[in-house]
Amino acid sequence: MKQDEGAAWSIFGYLLSGLLFWGGAGWALDHWLHTHYFVLGGLLLGMGASLYLIWLRFGRE
């Protein structure tokens, strides 16, 4: 059960870093180009990427 707890926290970390990295990239693009839709795309991309990574790491048997 301890490894499970560690896995749960590392899933949380992956999701957070996905949202922060790609969402942050989208936010920077918005800031640079004076638009307002890249941040949403970046957040969705980051969430997809982190879910893919979590599936690779924890979902495969």
Interface residues with other proteins (CB under 8 A) are 2-23, 27, 39, 43, 45-47, 49-61
CB of 46 to other proteins, least distance (A): 8
Is the separation of the CB atoms in 40 and 29 below 8 Å?
Answer: no
Is the separation of the CB atoms in 21 and 46 below 8 Å?
Answer: yes
Q: Which is nearer to other proteins, 4 or 33 (CB)?
A: 4
CB of 32 to other proteins, least distance (A): 16
How far apart (Å, rounded) are the C-alpha atoms in residues 34 and 21? Answer: 19
How far apart (Å, rounded) are the C-alpha atoms in residues 61 and 39? Answer: 34
CB of 6 to other proteins, least distance (A): 4
